[in-house]
Each structure stands twice: as structure tokens, then as C-alpha cells.
Amino acid sequence: MTSFLDRLRNPDHTGERRCWPCTVTNAVLLGLACVGLARRRSRTLAAALGVGGVAAIALRGYFVPFTPRFAPQLTQRLPGNVFHADAGEDREQRHAPDSPGSLGGETDEETGEAVLQSLLERGVVVADGETLYLAEDFRDEWREKVQALRGRDDRGLADALRESAPEETVTEIVEQDGGRFGEAERWFVVSDGSGDPAREQWLTRPIAVAEIGAVRALADSTSLSATRRAQSAGALRMLLETCPVCDGPVEETTEVECCGGPGGTRADAPDDVLACGDCGSRLYTFQ
């Protein structure tokens, strides 16, 4: 049975999704407010404010109104990278990029327009004015492929990535420290085997599952070439409505690891991203 405290608690900003820098900031502001109130008005009122503020921070994540709205914009103006525990630490020579890559690699504007036109002509994507959405038949087929991939172990998923790539590729499984909650992050690296970082694409497991599923669905339902299928997979992620690994809702948010956001490593200008509202997996980065 759900307790009264559980009903008050906001899971978006507490537990594993708690933003500790914002929590500390709220606690400091609460302390200052209590001290000021005790000196100017009443210690009783200050104590009441302290108890209420601590309860709000514990159960809701913050007590300063609208903290989740202004905190990400505020933190990007601060010097350094105070919102990440690994700020200023030396990284290994080979490390994951700021944003996950795609099986089809980076595409320029001309290629992106050609990919979209191909998807529209084949009925994979439907346009309603300026809004794009997936055709229902393709969405169902893509979901079916994704569900079949979820249970694969890492090696099996890496093999599926290699099979879905447009050319002969090398796939690696790379594990690095520095995840959002301090855990190791596992990446699937697709490359030409040259060792050149510019020729590598680093994919997270959710993105790998989504893109392999998209490539397979496109192979079954269209006559697109292998190269075009791989290029299309990254674009199709922009139209995801549910997470490929947990079926949670996909929401537009920011990459800043603040107030329950999906996390990130850049402090200069946080990107807008699509991320799972349940597990926090980042699924698409808007450029």
C-alpha cells in the first residue's frame, strides 16, 4: 500500500534522480532564510520554516519554487563544470564523445534532406504540415524488431550492429567509468578498424537497440540500400515515442545532469535532447 509520504514524494527529483548540487543550493538558501528570520522575527517561525524546507527538499527535491526550470540555464553560466563529479579529472586518451553517435555516422544537411525524402517517398515517415511522424505500420514493425533485440547480451548486440552496418566494420564493447551515478558506462563502438577517433561511432545500448531495429524494419519494408538504411536509423530516433529498452515515455529535456535530467558532460551550452522519462536514457540530441 502506498504511504502518505510516498504520495508526497516526487520521484523525478529524488532518489537516484536527485540533483545534489541543486539540493545543496536549496539547503544553503534555506539555512540563510532561517538565520535571517530568527534574527529579525521569531525563532519559532525560523524553526517552522526549517522543518518545512527540509521536508520539501527530502520529499520533493527542492524548496525554492521552479528550481527545475531555472537551474539548468543558471548552471551553464557558472565557471567550470560544477555539476559533474569528474570535472577537471584527467581522462584516458580514448574516451566517449560528448554525445552518442549513430550507426550511419554523421550526415551533412544535404544528406539529411535526401534521407528524409527517401523515408517520405516510401511511406515510412508521414508529414502533417510541418510535423513528421512514423507511419503506424512501420512503428509496429520497428517495435517488434526492438523487442526481439532487448534480450541479447552485449556480444550478441555488437554482432547485430556489425551485420546492420553498411560496410565491413569493426565493433567493440568499451566500458568506462564516469557514468551518471558513478557506475561504469558500456558503449558499443563501430569503426573501420583504423584506430582513427574521427572514424568511430560510440553508441549506448538503447541507441544500438533502436538503430538495429530500425535498420531491420527498413530492410523488411523498403528497398533502401544498406547505406541509406543505416543513415535513416539515426534520423528515425527523433520520432521515438517509447524507450527501446524499457518502454518508458520519451520526453524532450536537457542533457544537463541537474534536477532529474538525463545527464551530460558539457558545461558550456546544454543540448536539448530526447530522453526516457523512466530510465533516463538519452535517445536523440537536437543539433
In angstroms, the CA 6 to CA 60 distance is 10
| Confidence (pTM) | 0.67
Q: Give residue-wise pLDDT tens across range 205-262.
A: 999 999 999 999 999 999 999 999 999 999 999 999 999 999 999 988 876 656 655 5
Mean pLDDT of 26-46: 91
Grid cell at residue 228:
541509406
Q: Give residue-wise pLDDT tens across range 58-100.
A: 988 888 887 776 666 666 555 554 554 443 443 344 567 777 8
Give the domain extent around 46: 4-65
Answer yes or no: is pLDDT of 1 > 70: no
Pair (117, 182) in one structural domain? yes
Whether 217 is in a domain gets the answer yes
> What domain count does the chain have?
2
Q: Which of 192-201, 203-212, 222-231, 262-271 has the lowest mean pLDDT?
A: 262-271
Grid cell at residue 213:
531495429
Whether 87 is in a domain gets the answer no
Mean pLDDT of 137-163: 93
Domain boundary among 49, 65, 81: 65
Nearest to 171 by CA among 184, 150, 156: 156
What is the per-residue DSSP string for 12-44?
A: TSSGGG--HHHHHHHHHHHHHHHHHHHHHT-HH
Q: Is the separation of the CB atoms in 83 and 21 below 8 Å?
A: yes
Whether 255 is in a domain gets the answer yes
**Residue 49 has what pLDDT?**
93
Nearest to 281 by CA among 264, 257, 262, 266: 262
Give the side-chain half-sphere CA count within 13 A for 105: 16
Whether 76 is in a domain gets the answer no
What is the percent of the chain with per-residue pLDDT over 90, rounded to a whole number? 41
